[in-house]
A and B are shown apart, each in its own frame.
Chain A
Amino acid sequence: MSASAPASAAGPTASAGPAEAAPAALEVRGLTVVHPPRGGRGPARAVDGVDLRLEQGEILALIGESGCGKSTLARALVGLTRPTSGEVLYRGTPLRYTGSALKAYRRHTQLVLQDPGGALNPRQTVFDAVAEGPRLHGLKEGLEERVRSALSRAGLRPPEDFLARYPHQLSGGQQQRVVIAGALALDPAVVVADEPVASLDASVRGEILQLVLRLRDELGLSALVVSHDLGLAWNIADRVAVMYLGRIVEVGTVEDVLLRPVHPYTRALLSVLPGPDRGRRPTVLTGEAPDPTAVPAGCRFHPRCPAWAALDGPGREAAGCTVRELPVLTADPGAGRQAACHLVDAAADTPAGGAGTAGAPGGAAQAPGAEDGRG
Chain B
Amino acid sequence: MTLLEVRGLGVSYRSGGREVPAVRGVDLTLDRGETLGLAGESGSGKSTLALSLLRLLPAGTRVEGQVRWEGEDLLTAKWSRVRAVRWAGASVVFQGALSALNPVRTVGDQICEPIVLHEGATRREARRRAGELLESVGVPVRRLDGYPHEFSGGQRQRIMIAMALACRPDLIIADEPTTALDVMVQAQILQLLADLVKEERIAVLMISHDLSVLAQMCDRLAVMYAGQLVETGPSAQLLTDPRHPYTRALAGAFPVIGDPASRRAPSGLPGDPPNQAQLGAGCAFAPRCPEADADCRTGAVQLWPAGPGRDAACLRVLPDGVLPDGALRDGAAERPADGADAVPAEPGGADATGERAGEQAEEQAAPQPAAGTSAGGQS
In the complex, what residues of A have CB within 8 A of residue B249's CB? 203
Cα–Cα distance between A208 and B269 once the two chains are bound (Å): 10
Say whether B191 contacts A284, CB under 8 Å.
yes
Instruction: Tell me, rounded to whole Å, the shortest Cβ–Cβ distance linking B139 to chain A.
Output: 11
Beyond A274-B213, A365-B258, whether A172 also contacts B184 by CB under 8 A is: no
Q: Is A206 within 8 A of B190, CB to CB?
A: no
Cβ of A206 and Cβ of B182 under 8 Å apart? no
Question: Is the Cβ of B209 less than 8 Å from the Cβ of A275?
Answer: no
Contact A205 to B184, CB < 8 A, known contacts A235-B262, A276-B235: no
**A268, B185: Cα distance in complex, Å:** 12
A207-B270, A276-B235 known; A235 and B265 CB under 8 Å? yes
Cα A320 to Cα B123 in complex, Å, equals 50
* Residues 191-217 of chain A, each 1 if its beta carbon lies under 8 Å from chain B, else 0: 000000000011111111110010000
Interface string of A284-304 (1 = CB under 8 A from B): 111011000000000000000
A282 to B154, CA, bound (A): 18
For the complex of A and B, list the 5 residue pairs with the smallest distance between their C-beta atoms, beginning with the closest: A206-B268, A365-B258, A207-B268, A272-B187, A209-B266
B256 within 8 A of A: yes
Interface centre among B152, B155, B213, B255 (most CB of A within 10 A): B255
**Contact at B264–A201, with CB atoms within 8 Å?**
no
Residues of A within 8 A of B (CB): 65-66, 171-173, 201-210, 213, 228-231, 234-236, 254, 258-259, 268-270, 272-278, 282, 284-286, 288-289, 362, 365-368
- For residue B136, CB closer than 8 A to chain A, the reply is no
Q: Which residue of A lies closest to B153 (CB)?
A: A66
Tell whether B186 is near chain A: CB-to-CB under 8 Å.
Answer: yes
Closest Cβ–Cβ distance, residue A249 to chain B (whole Å): 14
Subset of 16 A-B contacts with CB under 8 Å: A65-B185, A201-B41, A206-B253, A206-B267, A207-B269, A231-B257, A234-B255, A259-B258, A268-B184, A272-B187, A274-B210, A274-B212, A276-B235, A278-B216, A284-B184, A284-B188
| Interface SS of B by simple majority | helix
A201 touches B209 (CB 8 A): yes
Partner of A269, one of B152, B184, B215, B267: B184
Most buried by B among A209, A213, A275, A284: A275
Closest to B234 in A: A276
Bound form: Cα–Cα A38–B188 in Å: 29
- Given A202-B253, A210-B268, 17 additional A-B pairs, CB 8 A: A66-B153, A202-B210, A204-B269, A206-B267, A207-B270, A231-B254, A231-B255, A258-B257, A259-B258, A269-B184, A272-B184, A273-B212, A274-B213, A274-B217, A276-B240, A284-B191, A288-B154
Are B155 and A288 in contact (CB-based, < 8 A)? yes
Contact of B67 with A by CB under 8 A: no
A234 to B191, CA, bound (A): 25
- CB of A187, distance to nearest CB on chain B (Å): 24
Q: CB-CB < 8 A to A288: which residues of B?
A: 152, 154-155, 185
Q: Is the CB of B212 within 8 A of A236?
A: no
Q: Hey, which chain A residues are within 8 Å of B98, CB to CB? A: none
Chain B residues positioned under 8 Å from A365 (CB to CB): 257-259
Interface assignment of B2: CB less than 8 Å from any CB of chain A: no
Known: A65-B184, A210-B266, A289-B152. A230 touches B41 (CB 8 A): no
Complex-state Cα separation, A295 to B364, whole angstroms:
52
Instruction: Give, as a whole number of angstroms, the nearest-CB distance from B309 to chain A.
Output: 15
Find chain B residues with CB under 8 A from A278 CB.
Answer: 215-216, 236
B44 to chain A, nearest CB (A): 9
Q: How far is it, in angstroms, between the C-alpha of A77 and the C-alpha of B250 when the chains are bound?
A: 34
B187 interface neighbour in A202, A259, A282, A289, Cβ under 8 Å:
A282
Q: Which of A205, A274, A289, A368 is in CB contact (< 8 Å) with B266?
A: A205
B190 and A274 form a contact (CB under 8 A): yes
Residue of B nearest to A209 (CB): B266
Residue among A201, A229, A276 with the highest chain B CB neighbour number at 10 A = A276
| CB of B322 closer than 8 Å to a CB of A | no
